[in-house]
Amino acid sequence: MVKIGEKIPDLEIDAYHKGEIKKIKLSDYRGQWMVLVFYPADFTFICPTELQELAEYYHEFKKLDAEISSVSTDTVFAHKVWHDISPAIKTVNYPMLADPAHKMCSEFGTHVDSEGLSLRATFIVDPEGIIKSMDIHDNSIGRSAAEILRKLQAARQVSTYPGNVCPAGWKPGAKTIKPTIELVGKI
């Protein structure tokens, strides 16, 4: 299973993207930020709300040189049908990755063996393929695209300004912290 600070595996996976079924390698995204959004299954209740909200924020992620890819254990054909018939999913313009063999979900530690599905999980990966943020939680809790975007912005900030850290609730334009020995005694 991948961990924070480790390079993600270079998997090749089927994807439904912009009306086409294609193969995508995770290394295709080297040189840009990547946000991998794992979810349990197509045709469910929370998943379309999350994927639609991410689609609404997609242009904000693209401005930060980041690609979003959603991932579930469904087939690429299920993704296509869902995209064709669901008004919420029709708004999705980012790649929808298909992992019916559960290889990617297993590598990323999101697979629930007893259900054959993925947990709800988000990974932010830097341009070198290193995991900078991961959030895995129960499938009954939906995510916020705005919070995922904020975490990406924070990851980019500390990448651009090494040695700085972003405090709780940090947003672009706010001050960062440069940890020092002197500062430790004031906390």
Angle at 20 between CA 14 and CA 33, to 5 degrees: 60
- What are phi and psi for residue 42, nearest 5 degrees? -70, 165
Instruction: Spot the catalytic one: 13, 47, 55, 125.
Output: 47
- Classified as helix, coil or strand, 142 is coil
Q: In what order do the strands lie in the sheet with 96-98?
A: 20-25, 12-17, 96-98, 66-72, 33-38, 120-125, 131-137
10's tokens? 């270079």
Decide if 47 is catalytic.
Answer: yes
Show which residues are catalytic. Answer: 47
